[in-house]
Amino acid sequence: MTSSEEEWGTPELDYPEEHPLHGRLNLNRFIFCAGCLIGTAITSITTCLVERGLTPKDYAIVSGIGCTGRTSGCFKAPAFHATHGRAIPFATGLKLANPDLEVFVLSGDGDLFAIGGNHFVHACRRNIEINVLCNNNGIYGMTGGQLAPTTSIGDFTSTSPYGNIEPPFNLVSLAAAAGASFVARWPGYDTLRLRESIFKAMDNPGFSFIEILAPCFTQYGRKNKLGDAVKMLEWLREQVVIDKDCPPHEAEYSHEKRRIVCGEFVNNPREGFTQKIKRLRETAQSRRK
Amino acid sequence: MLNSKRTPMLDPPRADKEYKIKVYSEICDGCELCVEFCPCDVLEIDMDNFNSRMLHYVKVIALDKCTGCKQCERICPTVSIMVIERDVPQEDD
């Protein structure tokens, strides 16, 4: 420790010791912009785990790179900050090595679908028992507001100053088509329905995917002149339509048409990958005898 | 809205409970999400005081209006607001 550090002390805030979630969260590591719904996603997961009675030994969090990738530092639990786009492969390894662990992947749209799109599709196909929560803000927030694969047509970003011409991914349709057994989409402010879906995802014996709409007001809102955090949530609420019986290929996601269909689209529990591995191991060992 | 056949997700407010709102001012960012989402206008940003990070934090202005829906607690991105409920102490006749 250098002399200046001794003089000024460690640059950490003192946080209240009597906080109910003090044992679960690093309350001084919430480094997100004031009003960003990433923090709401973290607290939703944590309160669901607390309500289920799981201790930090029973679950693990994996996150990738980006704004939402920084969330792994917020958990006082086995949390891993994986390399860019490789959050799902690390989670797959964790789940295969310890099938009793409840594994959550909390990452952004740029991490899971731009560089890690291949891993996502194959995890859906395998139906491995991990819960993937994608924080979709439609832009690369941390790196300076570049065009992401989830940016809607006509949106302005720093790499599309005349408007985006590429059609975006519909994450719900993609996950359902690839074979995920639980698929939902909720706006980040709709915390009650989001928590219900997190409980269902934890119960589901297979791959669960929840898309959380968390608009980025620092980059996306500034480039598209949509105002601050509260104004952007109002802008989002005008577009959101809740339809629980909608088939996943009709779940529209378009800021251009001002229509985003939210709900639970797939709930089709089937045998997961670790169960199949267990069965395969038993048959192989019985044949050897 | 009144013709809706959906079952409500929250319990109705109870008369035999009273609520207290605890604000952890050190970790509050002053993002105003709880102020906007509160249906009864219980909260307000305190423009006179600030915490050690030089940010104005939220304060409770009308606790008697609180119905205990806990929307502020769920929406808060920094877990800096908590709603504590307890039974109303019964008065002796």
* DSSP state string for chain A: --HHHHHH--S-----TT-TTTTTB-TT---S-TT-THHHHHHHHHHHHHHHT--TTSEEEEE-SSTGGGGGGGBSSSEEE-STT-HHHHHHHHHHH-TTSEEEEEEEHIIIIIISHHHHHHHHHHT-S-EEEEEE-SSBTTTTSB--TTPPTT--BTTBTT---SPPP-HHHHHHHHT-SEEEEEETT-HHHHHHHHHHHHH-SS-EEEEEE---TTTHHHHTT--SHHHHHHHHHHHEEE-TT--GGG--EETTTTEEEEEEEEE-----HHHHHHHHHHHHHHHH-
Question: What ipTM, to 2 d.p.?
Answer: 0.88
Per-residue pLDDT tens digits for A254-272: 888 899 999 999 999 999 9
How many residues are present in chain B?
A: 93
Q: Which residue has the higher pLDDT, B14 or A165?
A: A165
Per-residue pLDDT tens digits for B19-55: 888 888 888 888 999 999 999 999 999 898 888 888 9
Q: CB of B36 within 8 Å of any CB in chain A? A: yes
Cβ-Cβ contacts under 8 Å, B29 against chain A? 30, 34-35
Cβ-Cβ contacts under 8 Å, B55 against chain A? 34
Kind plus residue range of the DSSP H or E element containing B55: none
Name the residue of chain B whose CA is nearest to A47's CA.
Answer: B74
For the B30-86 domain, the top CATH level (class) is: alpha beta
Going by pLDDT thresholds of 50, 70 and 90, the confidence category of residue B92 is low
How many angstroms separate the CA atoms of B55 and B80, rounded?
13
Q: CB of B9 within 8 Å of any CB in chain A? A: yes
Cβ contact A16–B32 (<8 Å): no
In chain B, where are the structural domains located? 30-86
The strand pair at B58-60 and A208-213 is best described as unpaired
Q: What does the pLDDT average to over A69-87?
A: 91
Q: Which of these CATH numbers, 3.40.50.970, 1.20.140.10, 3.40.50.2300, 2.10.109.10, describes A37-288?
A: 3.40.50.970
Please answer whether residues A107 and A135 qualify as being in contact, where contact means their C-beta atoms are separated by less than 8 angstroms. yes
Q: CB of A125 within 8 Å of any CB in chain B? A: no
pLDDT value for A188: 92
Q: What does the pLDDT average to over A110-116?
A: 91
Q: CB of B70 within 8 Å of any CB in chain A? A: no
Q: Nearest-CA distance from A35 to chain B in Å?
A: 5
Contact partners, residue A25, CB within 8 Å, separation at least 6: A42, A43, A46, A74, A75, A76, B79
Does residue A2 register a pLDDT over 70?
A: no
Kind plus residue range of the DSSP H or E element containing B54: none
Mutate to test the interface with A, among B78, B81, B82, B85 (most CBs of A within 10 A): B78
Partner residue opposite B79 with nearest CB, options A14, A21, A193: A21
Please answer whether residues B62 and B39 qualify as being in contact, where contact means their C-beta atoms are separated by less than 8 angstroms. no
Q: What is the DSSP letter of B11?
A: P
Name the residue of chain A whose CA is nearest to B26's CA.
Answer: A15
How many angstroms separate the CA atoms of A225 and A217, rounded?
9
Q: Nearest-CA distance from B53 to chain A in Å?
A: 8
Going by pLDDT thresholds of 50, 70 and 90, the confidence category of residue A1 is very low
pLDDT value for B87: 81
Going by pLDDT thresholds of 50, 70 and 90, the confidence category of residue A83 is very high
* CA trace torsion A169, A175, A176, A180 (10° rounding): 180
